[in-house]
Amino acid sequence: MTTRLYTFTISHFAEKARWALDYKRIHYQENRLVPGSHIPIVKRMAPATFVPVLRDDRRVIQGSSAIIDYLDARTTERPLTPADPSERQRAIELERWLDRELGEPVRRVFYFHALNDPDLLIPLFNQGGPWWAVCFVASASARSPIACARCTRLRSRMRRSIRIA
């Protein structure tokens, strides 16, 4: 059974899913997508556009928390969430709180600056991605000479989705 994890290189929610797979010692292949061009690829598999998405022979799972639950259901070895009901509830609450209060704000602060700094963003987005990613990401960055209406829409979409005013 091939397990594939669709990610972005610098997504901490994708990192959470990578850690979960590594901790469970499940072998997987990582497919690093380029932000923006990921939309049609992810939408073909899953209801929303975000990564991480995990795909194996049985199912497609979207979102880091759902992936953690699925991996625990797939193999009970090295559990990620405690079995005891009250400890389990506490772990789930803590995870939700950290996603909301730490994960999302840190990302917002990062992109507030990074979306206007192509020299920082292009190499980060492009790590391990396809050869054409440099052009794609460069064209979407704020100071690019080849910025086009479509790329400006992409930047606006990113700002909207992570609630940068």
Q: How far apart are CA 1 and CA 19, in angstroms?
A: 20
Residue 50 main-chain phi, psi, to 5 deg:
-80, 160
Q: Quote the least distance from Cβ 43 to ligand GSH, whole Å.
A: 9
CB 101 to ligand GSH: min, Å: 13
Q: For residue 60, what are the β-bridge partners?
A: 55
For 51-132, where are the alpha helices, taking DSSP H only? 64-74, 85-98, 104-114, 118-126
Both tokens of 145, joined, read 């000479």
Q: Smallest distance, Å, CB 59 to ligand GSH?
A: 16
∠63-67-69 over CA atoms, to 5°? Answer: 125
Count the neighbouring beta carbons within 10 Å of the beta carbon of residue 123.
12
Question: Residue 134 or 158: which CB sits closer to ligand GSH?
Answer: 158
Q: Which residues bind ligand GSH (CB under 6 A)?
A: 8, 11, 13, 49-52, 63-65, 99, 161
Q: Rounded to the nearest whole angstrom, what is the least distance from the CB of residue 145 to ligand GSH in the complex?
A: 26
Task: Report how far residue 57's alpha carbon sits from residue 114's, in angstroms, rounded to the nearest whole number.
Answer: 37
**Nearer of residues 36 and 77 to ligand GSH, judged by Cβ:** 36
50 vs 125, beta carbon nearer ligand GSH: 50
CB nearer ligand GSH, residue 31 or residue 65: 65
Q: Give least dist CB 119 to ligand GSH, A.
A: 21
- Nearest CB to ligand GSH, comparing residues 61 and 84: 61
